[in-house]
Structure 1
Amino acid sequence: MTRIVRVAAAQLGPIARLENREQVVTRLIALLRQAAADGCDLVVYPEMALTTFFPHWEVTDPVELESYYEKAMPEGAVTRLFEEAARLKIGFSLGYAELAGTADTPRHFNSSVLVGKDGRVIGKYRKIHLPGYAEIHPEHPFQNLEKMYFEVGDLGFPVFDAFGGTLGMCICNDRRWPETYRLLALQGAELITLGYNTPLHNPGQDTGQSPEQRRFHNHLCMQAGAYQNSSWVVGVAKAGIEEGCEMMAGTCIVAPTGEIVAETKTLGDELAVADCDLDACIPGKRGEFDLALNRRPEHYGLLVEAS
């Protein structure tokens, strides 16, 4: 018996700085309905899918800055997305900027939630590998201020029993670090949702990389993570030119073999759909990548002591 999860990777085109929640949620619902009509079980949206990617500039107005964060999930206009998912009986994962804590001690995270077909939150992840810097670089055409606007995630890399298998989440820069996939795989992850907002050019941090190399490395890290951990990886991008920043795109669904089985073709709102057989993870997880059988951290020498 196979365990098929039909997944839609829901790429988004640019979200303008002045675009409000109602407008964005309407776009998300349109993709959700399209996925439901195609028989999908799960829709994966990008990182920070409800707003423009505000860490690309210094936000000096505290009212504007607070407007980019969600105090609860769902709240306000976003409730419509949850209600429509429950009506259509389709699940989703959604990236957003989270305001947690209290009024006296607010905490800010780059987060994602996994939502079931009943419209209820199954679990949450908070981004751990924050890129960029915490200070303004006026010489750059745009900023990368995630370290200014967010704390490092404090939930670890949890997995969740959902959609007939074991699912995990990560966000954007997490995909470049092998420990992300390995920590999820050690807990049995069979499908990993991964939303991202990545510039095609990254001022001050490209180290001479061409756009072609950036695109290559974007797919390389996801394909390697999928193959080495025998898991499906659903990488979903923000695409197009957003407030002057050209986004990388490259939305794709990667099989446990490391092969890309579906990808988008445009720079706008678009679905890439694939039937993800969770049982396709079994040959790798019980074969050459059987972690319990073949992984021996005690033999790694100084690496173990250094960790």
Structure 2
Amino acid sequence: MTRRVKLAACQMGPVQSSASRPEVVGRLIHLLERAAKDGATLAVFPELALTTFFPRWEIDNETKLDVFYEASFPNAETQPLLDAARRLRIGFAIGFAEMVQDGAAKQRFNTMALVDAEGQVAGLYRKMHVPGSEMPEPGVTVHLERRYFAPGNLGFPVFDIDGLRVGLALCNDRRWPETYRMLCLNGAEIVLIGYNTPLLLDEAPQLAHLRMFHNHLPMQAGAYQNTVWVAAAAKAGLEDGQALIGGSCIIAPTGEITALATSLADEVVTYDADLGLIETCRRVNFDFARYRRPDQYRRICE
């Protein structure tokens, strides 16, 4: 029997630092409603969807920094989004800054939560490939994720949600082949990705014309080489003075972009994904059970 799922990539225009959580959650609910109206049953929102991309600043005041983090998910301000998922019968993934209290210490992660169509959290992923630096570097676009986030400690889990096998990734993770390979080997059929990507890099202005190409290239390669569907949602537009590229998309296991955002604003793109295409692509080129046998790996490495 043919298995299909309608996927939605819910792109967001800029989230300015002046925006309140309820205001942002209201935007997210509206996007989820648009996705559901178009028949989608699984959606993805961007990385750090609840706030501006605050790692572009050096923040020394811990009280001011804590404002950007969620001490729990859901909480009173974000619960309406999960209630909407249950009302609309649509699952979703959303990126946010997570703060975990470990005794007197605080652990901070760049996190994505997966929520099912019952409005229940199915699982968390914490970003593994944390880019940037701890301090601003001369001539380099300010990107201080390593100052504000520890590398993820949950590995690359794959979750069973509403009859699907779903893996998660965040921003810089999408550029690394290990992300897709680990998720594929863990049984993912669909990979949901959220990202925030600057339009320009001060350290490489000669590569500016390749920014969107380099955004899509690794996701298309990851989808093709690992025979998975990929849905990726961006923040876009001018956010607190920094231009973000957008380019939210849905990619088939063939490597083809099947749906692509065309604006730098709030936008929903959807696609009716045929999960049977995964098996077709595996038969053609990537039969992992035949060509990538663990017992053969062990003999080669010994």
TM-score (norm 1): 0.93
String of CA shifts for 1:28-48, please: whole Å, max 9, x gaps: 011011111111101110001
- AA aligned opposite 1:74: P
Matches within 5 A, 1:95-244: 95-137=95-137, 143-204=142-203, 206=204, 208-244=205-241
Distance 1:135 1:272 in 2: 37
**Counterpart among 274, 285, 302 of residue 271 in structure 2:** 274
Q: Is the 8 A contact 2:7 2:271 kept in 1?
A: yes
Identity of aligned residues (%): 49
Residues 256 and 200 of structure 1: CA distance in aligned 2, closer, same or farther (over 3 Å):
same
Q: Is the 8 A contact 1:130 1:147 kept in 2?
A: yes
Distance 2:27 2:158 in 1: 28
Can you give the 5+ residue segments of structure 2 that lack an aligned partner in the other structure?
Answer: none
> Shift in Å at residue 235 of structure 1?
1.3
Structure 1 residue 264 and structure 2 residue 261: aligned? Answer: yes
- Tell me the equivalent position of 1:35: 35
Q: Is the 8 A contact 2:125 2:169 kept in 1?
A: yes
- Tell me the equivalent position of 1:253: 250
* Secondary structure at the counterpart of residue 76 of structure 1: coil
Distance 1:244 1:131 in 2: 20
Q: Is the 8 A contact 2:201 2:208 kept in 1?
A: no
* Secondary structure at the counterpart of residue 26 of structure 2: helix
Q: Is the 8 A contact 1:192 1:234 kept in 2?
A: yes
RMSD of aligned C-alpha atoms? 1.8
Q: Comparing 278-287 with 18-27, which one deviates more in the overlay?
A: 278-287
Can you give the 5+ residue segments of structure 1 that lack an aligned partner in the other structure?
Answer: none
- Tell me the equivalent position of 1:295: 292
Q: Is the 8 A contact 2:188 2:228 kept in 1?
A: yes
Distance 2:90 2:296 in 1: 45
**Count of paired positions:** 301
* Secondary structure at the counterpart of residue 256 of structure 1: coil
TM-score (norm 2): 0.95
- AA aligned opposite 1:221: P
> Shift in Å at residue 76 of structure 1?
2.2
Q: Is the 8 A contact 2:68 2:97 kept in 1?
A: yes
